[in-house]
Amino acid sequence: MHTTSQSPPVDGGLTRMTPRARALLFVLCGSIFLEGVDVSMLGVALPAIRGDLGMAPGELQWVVSAYVLAYGGFMLLGGRAADLLGRRRMFVLWLTVFVVFSGLGGLATDGWMLITARAMTGLAAAFMTPAGLSLITTSFPEGPLRNRALLWYAGTAAGGFSLGLVVGGLLTALGWRWVFFVPVILAAVILVLAVRLIAHDDAPPRTGQGYDVFGAITMTLGAVGVVYTVVVAPEVPPSETVLTAAISVALLVAFVIAERRSSAPLMRLGIFRSVNLVRANLATILFAGSFVGFQFITVLYLQDLRGWTALQTGLALLVIAIDSVLAPTLTPRLVDRFGNPKVLVAGFAVALVAYALFLGIPADADYWTAMFPTMVLLGVAFTLVYGTLTIVAVEGVADEEQGLAGGIWNTSFQFGGALGLGMAASLSVGEAGLLEGFHRALVVPVIATAVGLLIVATGLVGKNRVGAQQRVGG
């Protein structure tokens, strides 16, 4: 069996991490924190970038879209590469690429240079993120230790995204290029620690297995096509959306046919026989789409309608980051006591209430009475849902396919975010005024969360925590 580890995995009978395991978890959490900060800081800096580089609005959106396309399109390939080529090798290599192109983005003097740098940064994240997640899941056994590690990981990711909104506002005040240079500094520190703490892969790559080149091409192009269709749908004619969607579906069908016939498939389709994995990813798409769509509309509501600054907007959303504290401390206890299904149902129910409270918000709404309750509830929802979905999505998957499972889950999150953003953006535009458009778009997170609640309520995990503990004990 081909595995990657940092010394033998922690014994399933132990309930405490060793100092080395804590240090490893710190490095891997640092990488996902970096990814979250990088994404959210850029969103706040876009107006300043447009003014300095003279980018048109249509060109400016590609600063974000190029990253999303590369990240979402290559994530599955990145996850499989981690399994086949070595998790440490992929993590260190692509973290280095992340450092280089994030720095080049800060040095960009023209729009195309910045867009290219963002595409390469997204590509690096697509390979680095599933490698980091699979390093965690193969280093900690199923049970309390893995759950604790994944919840720390998830809480760090969400906290990085939330804190990045505020940090991005502060750095943009100094100059938008700092939004790129600060991640370079953080990534360089993480890279040094990763080289020292992550042991070399236990086994050489499976050179005799071969690679499914046709499968890799059709899967990647199909995934990129789907994300591209969602991202540009609000800005192109419906006929073009239908065409790109049809081409994407055809490529994905070709990928499925190729995988069924290949003797060395890039992705073993049998992994989708896991009901847990399928339902976890469907719930992830809906959860991510709800939040990204809501955030997009809320930022426009506060800045375009209310005239708030980027820093004020970031501070208004900051309370959502309470999940970075609650996820690693409260959620493990709730999962141990009630099991994943009940925690997920509670989380989706809280999110549904949060979005429903924001429906019909007036133009002169008071922050503390009309907006703050929604932000607090969303922080609680993230606490209960994000890390728990991460656990369920990789639960019961063999070590040699942990990178693939992690890639599938991260792809679902990115695709869900792009889908939610595209739908919210398209619904917010119309002949009616800004506020009416926002009210129409705010229906998206409510409906998506309600469907997600239905999915998790009908048995997302299949087995409760007792079954998981029995597997670990056996």
**Residues 6 or more apart in contact with residue 173 via CB below 8 angstroms:** 311
364: DSSP letter: T
- Per-residue pLDDT, 204: 47
pLDDT tens digits in sequence order for the chain, 474 residues long? 333 344 444 444 455 778 888 888 999 999 988 888 888 788 778 778 888 998 876 677 788 778 887 887 788 788 888 888 888 999 999 999 999 999 999 999 999 999 999 999 999 998 999 899 889 888 888 778 888 888 888 878 877 877 787 788 788 888 889 999 988 998 999 999 999 888 776 654 554 555 677 887 888 788 788 878 877 777 789 899 999 999 999 999 998 898 888 877 777 888 888 888 889 999 999 999 999 889 888 888 988 889 888 788 878 888 888 887 888 788 888 988 988 889 999 999 999 999 999 999 999 999 999 999 999 999 999 999 988 998 888 887 887 777 778 878 888 888 888 788 778 877 887 666 789 989 999 999 999 999 999 999 986 445 444 344 433 333
| Nearest to 339, CA basis, from 203, 470, 186 | 470
| Nearest to 326, CA basis, from 272, 256, 383 | 383
- Per-residue pLDDT, 167: 83
Q: Rounded distance, CA 95 to CA 138, Å?
A: 19
470: DSSP letter: H
Q: State the Cα torsion 75-79-81-84 to the nearest 10°.
A: -160
Pair of tokens at residue 395: 């639960």
Q: Rounded distance, CA 119 to CA 126, Å?
A: 11
Burial 212-226 (b: 16+ CB within 10 A, else e): bebbbbbbbbbbbbb
Q: Rounded distance, CA 7 to CA 17, Å?
A: 13
**Residues 6 or more apart in contact with residue 253 via CB below 8 angstroms:** none
Q: Rounded distance, CA 381 to CA 164, Å?
A: 19
- Per-residue pLDDT, 81: 85
Q: Is 336 exposed, middle or buried (0-12, 13-18, 19+ CB in 10 A)?
A: middle
Q: Rounded distance, CA 333 to CA 388, Å?
A: 12
| Nearest to 395, CA basis, from 281, 294, 224, 299 | 281
Q: At what angle do helices 144-174 and 19-53 cross, to 10 degrees?
A: 30
SS3 content of the chain, % helix, strand, coil (to 5): 80, 0, 20
Q: Is 11 exposed, middle or buried (0-12, 13-18, 19+ CB in 10 A)?
A: exposed
- Per-residue pLDDT, 401: 79
Domain residue ranges of the chain, discontinuous segments joined by + = 19-200, 268-467
Q: Architecture of domain 268-467 in CATH?
A: Up-down Bundle (1.20)
- Per-residue pLDDT, 450: 97
- Per-residue pLDDT, 12: 45
| Nearest to 129, CA basis, from 103, 157, 104 | 157
Whether 268-467 and 19-200 are alike in CATH topology: the answer is yes
Q: Rounded distance, CA 366 to CA 368, Å?
A: 6
**Residues 6 or more apart in contact with residue 365 via CB below 8 angstroms:** 371
Q: Is 438 exposed, middle or buried (0-12, 13-18, 19+ CB in 10 A)?
A: buried
Pair of tokens at residue 445: 């997170």
Q: Residue 24: CA atoms inside 13 Å, Cβ hemisphere, count?
A: 27
Cβ of 246: how many Cβ atoms within 10 Å?
12
CATH superfamily, domain at 19-200: MFS general substrate transporter like domains (1.20.1250.20)
Q: Rounded distance, CA 424 to CA 440, Å?
A: 8
Say how many Å lie between the first and final Cα of the chain, rounded: 20
Q: Residue 108: CA atoms inside 13 Å, Cβ hemisphere, count?
A: 29
Q: Rounded distance, CA 18 to CA 22, Å?
A: 6
Q: Rounded distance, CA 393 to CA 281, Å?
A: 7
Pair of tokens at residue 201: 């892969």
Pair of tokens at residue 85: 């080529």
**Residues 6 or more apart in contact with residue 337 via CB below 8 angstroms:** none
